[in-house]
Each structure stands twice: as C-alpha cells, then as structure tokens.
Structure 1
Amino acid sequence: MSQHAETSRAFSPEELAAWLTDMCGGRPRGIIFDCDGVIIDSAAANVHYYNLLRRELGLPLLTKEQEHYVQMSTAQQAIDAIIPAPLMPALRDVTRRISYRRDIVPMLRPTEGIHRLLQRCRALGIRTGVHTNRRDGMGDVIATCRFEGFFDPVVTVARALPKPDPDGAFQVLREWGLSARDTLFVGDSSTDRDAAGGAGIPFLPYRNPHLETPGFCADFADLESALELTRSC
C-alpha cells in the first residue's frame, strides 16, 4: 500500500465541492454507485452467508483477507476462492439448504444517508445508476432496501463484464448519453476505482482512505452538501 493511500483523508463538503468542480467541471449530471459497501451495508450479511457454507462443508471461518475479497468479487469468484474444488459437488447440496434470498437478503440494510442523497440527486436532476459485481437478486436487494425508482440502469455481471473491467461503466454512459467527465463513480474498492478509471470517469472513494486518491467521502451527507455547493455542469 502506498504512502499516498495511507495518508488519504476525508474531504470536507467544501473540499469535495472543489474537487467535483475540478474533476467534473461542476456538478455531475450522473452518478454511478457501487452496491455492496456503498448503497447497502452488506459486509456482515455476506460474510455470514459464506461462513454458513464453509461451516456446512467442515471448513473454518473466513480469514480477514477472504472477508475483504468476497465483498468486492462476483459470487462465483468468491466461491472459487473460498471453497476447495473437491468440495464443489457437496456445495451444491449445501446451497439447496441455505438460501441467500431467504436467509441473507432480509439482513441487508441501506447505507445511512443514501435515501436522502438519492432524493437530493433527483431534485437536482442528477441521474443515478448502479454498477455491481452481483449477478442475481438485485431486484430483491432494491425491494428490501426501498430503492425502487431510484436507479436506472442497474448493471450486473449478467449484462456486463465484472469490474475492474470498464464494460459496465461504458454501458451506463451510453444509456445516459453522457460523457465520462459529466459523470461520477462512487465506490469502495480497487475494482470500482479501476472500472471508473478504465472508462475515464472521475472516481470518489466511499469510506476507504486506501485507494490512492486525494481524498474520500466519509459520509453521504458530505456528498449531498457538496452537490448543493457545486454549480451545474
């Protein structure tokens, strides 16, 4: 980890407004959000799910490194990383007993302040979308966290290559008819950062000071205030 990443600090609303003006030429016209760890608080739920699978297979709990990886990877990448290949046949039986939709989705919660931010974006005419490495079940996530009507498009790995490939980010730009400079990508991982960078979209880390950026957003209330302080592009 670089020294710059170690010393990255939270932007104040005023600093964030200045950064948006510099990077986006003013208030962005569209914001792409990552899902897990950004618009939803899912880390504990996801770790619980994968630990349930491992326990049923006689494996120990996830390590801290594995916990971090499963939060930003696709589900298939996570399974491949944490379940040894010889246990894959047994895993099929386990997943018939343990349902992510039934047992885990009800544990998901919207991130604090996200609804207010989305309402402010709507009032300011800022488009909002999601680019996630999830494949299935986003409809359940949106319903559980009361996000109906806020995100369009919702790009999953069912329709785009997984991040860090910029394929999904490019899809959002095309659907919106916006340039990369008109857009902001808010994420919490290196895969988000690299997907945004590959599409040329300014990237704002959310609650992660270790992504080699000038600063990060510590609270959605700060981003809401910064958008109010920033002029339209």
Structure 2
Amino acid sequence: MKKYKAVVFDLDGTLADTRLDFVKMREDLQFPLGVSILEHLETLPLDKKDNANRIILEHEIAGAKSSTLTSGAKELLDHLEEKNIPMAIQTRNCKDVTDLVIGKLKIPISKVLTREDSRPKPDPHGFFQIAKDWNIDIKEILYVGDSHYDLQTSLNAKSDFALFTNLHNESKEINHPFSVSCLSQLISYF
C-alpha cells in the first residue's frame, strides 16, 4: 500500500458538509444548467456580477453556518496532525466563508487556497503551488475530494486522487477506483 507524505483536501462536501443547495443557488442567480457557476459569473457584465456575487455569498454563508464535519473527518485530521503530515485545503469557495467554516469546525489546517488565491479548480495551478511550497513531489501528495472539479484537478496535475462519496455525489456519474465513504478509511495511507 502506498504511503503519502501530504494531503490536499477539498472543503465543501469533503471535509465539511455545508449543505449548499446549488440548484437553489443557480435558480436565484438565473444561471443556465450545465454551466459552472464560477465560470458563468466571469462572463457577466460588472453590474450583474456584483449582484450575482452577493447571491452566491448569501448561499455560502448560510451553508457555512449550518456546516458539520463529514464522516470520519475528525479522526483523519487528528491522525494527520499527530503524524505531522502536511495538510492543505483547495476550495472554489471564497476566503471569508472558508475561514468561517474552518473556524466553526475547528479544522486544524492553515494552508488554504480559495478562489481568490488562485485560479479555481479544475485548474491545477493552486495544487502545484501547494506542492512547491511544501517542496514535495506531486506524486507523493494525495488529493481528496468529492466532485468532478476535484477529480479533474487531480487528473490535470497527474496526482493520485481519493473520491469521498457522500449523499450529494453518490448518485452522480463520478466513478473512481479509489473511493471512500468515510474519511477515516484513508488513515492507513499516511
């Protein structure tokens, strides 16, 4: 069994269940189906972009306030912290909401990249920056996420990926040979 030297997590749906209702968010934004919310946001004129950002932030704050740790997250985080394994979060969420979730749930991770810090996933730039900062080869870092953005980020970076299956993604067409339904199942890989 391969042992990893570090881990990069997605936040929403992976470490934290923020209960974000993307269908309702998309309805409130009046964005078309099948188009990424963040990518569509970039195509809007400035006056519409400001209003859309406000709507997105309202949804993200509501999700952050009701967030809980996902299954096995505390056990895995405690293990990684005890073993001094470098940990990071790369999220498509904004900094303020990410900080709110991390603080509320007492997530012991200080290296965090939000959509303000680097190009959003699936662009691997942020992941490459984390690996460079740690001076750890990308092949020795496990990327853990729950969405096609996370999987695609890992594929773009040519890194190993663990899919965290949850109530929101288990019915989606995300198939990956390395998947877990409880994050503590990853303990033996570190």
Same fold (TM over 0.5): yes
Q: Is the 8 A contact 1:30 1:184 kept in 2?
A: yes
Q: Percent of pairs identical after alignment? A: 21
Q: 1 CA distance for matches of 2:135 and 2:8?
A: 14
Unaligned runs of at least 5 residues, structure 2: none
In structure 1, what is the equivalent of residue 101 of structure 2?
141
Query: Larger relative CO (CA 8 A, sep 6+): 1 or 2?
Result: 1
3-state DSSP of counterpart to 1:203: strand
**Where has structure 1 moved over 6 Å in runs of 4 or more?**
none
Alignment map for 1:154-169 (pairs within 5 Å): 154-169=112-127
Q: Does residue 131 of structure 2 align to residue 173 of structure 1?
A: yes
Q: Does residue 21 of structure 2 align to residue 50 of structure 1?
A: no
In structure 2, what is the equivalent of residue 31 of structure 1?
7
Alignment map for 1:11-90 (pairs within 5 Å): 18=1, 21=2, 27-42=3-18, 44-47=19-22, 50=25, 54=28, 76-77=38-39, 89=48
Q: Does residue 168 of structure 2 align to residue 216 of structure 1?
A: no
Q: Is the 8 A contact 2:119 2:125 kept in 1?
A: yes
User: Greater CA radius of gyration, 1 or 2?
Assistant: 1
Structure 1 residue 161: deviation in Å?
0.9
Structure 1 residue 221: deviation in Å?
2.3
Q: 2 CA distance for matches of 1:202 and 1:191?
A: 14
In structure 1, what is the equivalent of residue 91 of structure 2?
132
Structure 1 residue 190: deviation in Å?
1.9
CA-based RMSD of the aligned residues comes to 3.3
Unaligned runs of at least 5 residues, structure 1: 1-17, 22-26
Structure 1 residue 100: deviation in Å?
4.3
User: How has the CA–CA distance of structure 1 residues 28 and 77 changed in structure 2, closer, same or farther, with 3 Å as cutoff?
Assistant: same
3-state DSSP of counterpart to 1:126: coil
Structure 1 residue 214: deviation in Å?
2.0
Q: Does residue 182 of structure 2 align to residue 191 of structure 1?
A: no
Bigger mean CA deviation after superposition, 130-139 or 29-38? 130-139
Q: Is the 8 A contact 1:30 1:128 kept in 2?
A: yes
TM-score, structure 1 length as denominator? 0.65
User: How has the CA–CA distance of structure 1 residues 94 and 119 changed in structure 2, closer, same or farther, with 3 Å as cutoff?
Assistant: closer
Structure 1 residue 76: deviation in Å?
3.4
Q: Which is helix-richer, 1 or 2? A: 1
Bigger mean CA deviation after superposition, 206-215 or 175-184? 206-215
Q: 1 CA distance for matches of 2:71 and 2:61?
A: 24
User: How has the CA–CA distance of structure 1 residues 188 and 172 changed in structure 2, closer, same or farther, with 3 Å as cutoff?
Assistant: same
